[in-house]
């Protein structure tokens, strides 16, 4: 019985990590589908399949074997820096060129993983700290801009009231509780915030009824891939940038969990990432990279094992088969709750980068 209780608690922690991915897994498909003129049904498919592939990609990265997987409690999510290039490729050359470029860029990451891992392991603290801090600040600024942008279109007073309640709940739970309850403070906050948002009329569930109960992700859903040279080069550059970002995520997690990683584990981590990008191209979704929000959550919750992330990956795969869930994500109009949460978690990631920078001897090293 005790073992079942432990697993139920771990499952709840996994659900918390899933909710941490909410904003990213929802926002990127909406942005790309909007730019390329996809229909509402195509957008729902894109969201659902993206959720499914996030789960598959995370399963790959959780492995700890000779060939692939970093073996840290890391989530893989959509690489946000790919949005603008994918929009550009899709508008200029069509969806086929977009997904063809993803396929080749995934193969590219797998191919260069061994070489890149040799250089990545040599990154000094000033480089690692700068990358981690930049990721935190960039994601934080995005979170704050989303809160502000939303308030301009969804009633100023309601949105800021919801944002204030969200922050207050996080603070109260962290101050006045401990143990398991404290570790799921984010989940408690999101549930209460969503209920409040629904009562304020900020969530519309009507599109959910129009979608089928189950669907299976289909390769080449938007058509066969096209291999256009300039698009391939652009996405290979983005893939390299994503590898640098992932390096910061992996090193931050290594420091948090006290689990050192060498060049071999970095190589296997990049390989898993390349496999995920390749699958993203085949199933017509997106490139995937280490998700910084979940790193902040590992730090915030104090839970440093991989088991909760396995549950999260399983939840993602299951929910990706349910298009009604994708429609619910598309319909949700309560981003203040989610983006306030994201801001809180990104502060944790930002301060982790600052911790790396404190190790740098700025006074006695003229090259820093």
CA distance 231 to 98: 7
More confident residue, 183 or 38: 38
Q: At how many degrees (to 10) do helices 229-257 and 125-153 cross?
A: 110
The pLDDT of residue 2: 47
Residues 6+ apart with CB under 8 A from 88: 234
Domain ranges, residue 311: 2-357
Task: Give domain status of residue 216, yes or no.
Answer: yes
Q: Tell the residue number behind the tokens 């659902």, with chain if given.
A: 48
Task: Give domain status of residue 364, yes or no.
Answer: no
The pLDDT of residue 41: 81
The pLDDT of residue 319: 85
**Taking the C-alpha atoms of 338, 346, 79 and 273 in order, what is their torsion angle to the nearest 10 degrees?**
-120
CA distance 262 to 265: 6
Q: Which of 7-11, 203-207, 237-241 has the lowest mean pLDDT?
A: 203-207
CB atoms within 10 A of CB 128: 21
The pLDDT of residue 15: 82
Task: Give domain status of residue 367, yes or no.
Answer: no
| Strands, E assignment, 253-298 | 288-290
Q: Which of 168-177, 297-306, 321-330 has the lowest mean pLDDT?
A: 321-330
Could you tell me the pLDDT band of residue 356, with boundaries at 50, 70 and 90? low
Q: Which DSSP symbol is given to 68?
A: S
Most confident of 33-47, 60-74, 146-160, 287-301: 60-74
How many structural domains comprise the chain? Answer: 1
DSSP H or E run through 156? helix 156-176
- What Å distances lie between residue 21 and 55, 163, 165, 169, 235, CA to CA? 11, 18, 21, 19, 23
Pairing of strands 288-290, 76-78: antiparallel
Task: Give domain status of residue 363, yes or no.
Answer: no
Question: Buried (b) or exposed (e) across 6-26, using 16+ Cβ within 10 A?
Answer: eeeebbebbbbbbbbbbbbbb
CA nearest to 55, candidates 25, 26, 83: 25
Task: Give domain status of residue 103, yes or no.
Answer: yes
Task: Give domain status of residue 115, yes or no.
Answer: yes
| Strands, E assignment, the chain | 76-78, 288-290
CA distance 245 to 224: 30
* Contact present, 89 and 231 (Cβ < 8 Å): yes
Q: Can you give the C-alpha Rg of the chain in angstroms?
A: 20
């Amino acid at each position: 019985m005790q073992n079942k209780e432990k697993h139920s608690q771990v499952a709840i922690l996994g659900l918390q990590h899933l909710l941490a991915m909410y904003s990213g897994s929802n926002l990127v498909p909406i942005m790309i589908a909007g730019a390329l003129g996809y229909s509402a049904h195509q957008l729902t498919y894109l969201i659902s399949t993206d959720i499914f592939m996030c789960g598959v990609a995370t399963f790959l990265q959780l492995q700890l074997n000779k060939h692939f997987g970093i073996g840290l409690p890391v989530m893989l999510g959509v690489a946000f820096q790919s949005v603008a290039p994918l929009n550009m490729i899709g508008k200029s050359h069509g969806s086929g060129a977009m997904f063809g470029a993803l396929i080749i860029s995934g193969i590219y990451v797998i191919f260069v993983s061994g070489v890149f891992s040799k250089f990545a392991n040599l990154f000094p603290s000033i480089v690692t700290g700068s990358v981690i801090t930049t990721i935190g600040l960039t994601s934080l600024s995005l979170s704050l801009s989303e809160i502000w942008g939303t308030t301009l279109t969804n009633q100023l007073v309601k949105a800021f009231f919801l944002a204030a309640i969200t922050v207050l709940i996080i603070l109260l739970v962290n101050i006045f509780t401990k143990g398991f309850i404290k570790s799921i403070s984010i989940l408690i906050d999101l549930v209460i915030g969503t209920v409040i948002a629904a009562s304020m009329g900020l969530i519309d569930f009507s599109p959910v009824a129009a979608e089928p109960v189950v669907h299976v992700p289909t390769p080449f859903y938007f058509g066969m891939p096209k291999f256009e040279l300039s698009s391939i080069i652009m996405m290979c550059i983005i893939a390299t940038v994503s590898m640098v970002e992932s390096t910061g995520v992996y090193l931050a997690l290594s420091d948090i969990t006290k689990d050192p990683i060498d060049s071999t584990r970095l190589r296997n981590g990049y390989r898993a990432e390349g496999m995920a990008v390749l699958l993203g191209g085949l199933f017509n979704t997106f490139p995937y990279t280490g998700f910084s929000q979940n790193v902040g959550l590992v730090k915030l919750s104090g839970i440093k094992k991989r088991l909760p992330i396995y549950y999260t990956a399983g939840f993602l795969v299951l929910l990706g088969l349910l298009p009604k869930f994708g429609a619910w994500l598309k319909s949700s109009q309560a981003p203040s709750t989610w983006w306030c949460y994201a801001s809180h978690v990104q502060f944790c990631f930002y301060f982790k980068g600052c911790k790396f920078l404190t190790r740098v001897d700025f006074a006695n090293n003229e090259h820093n």
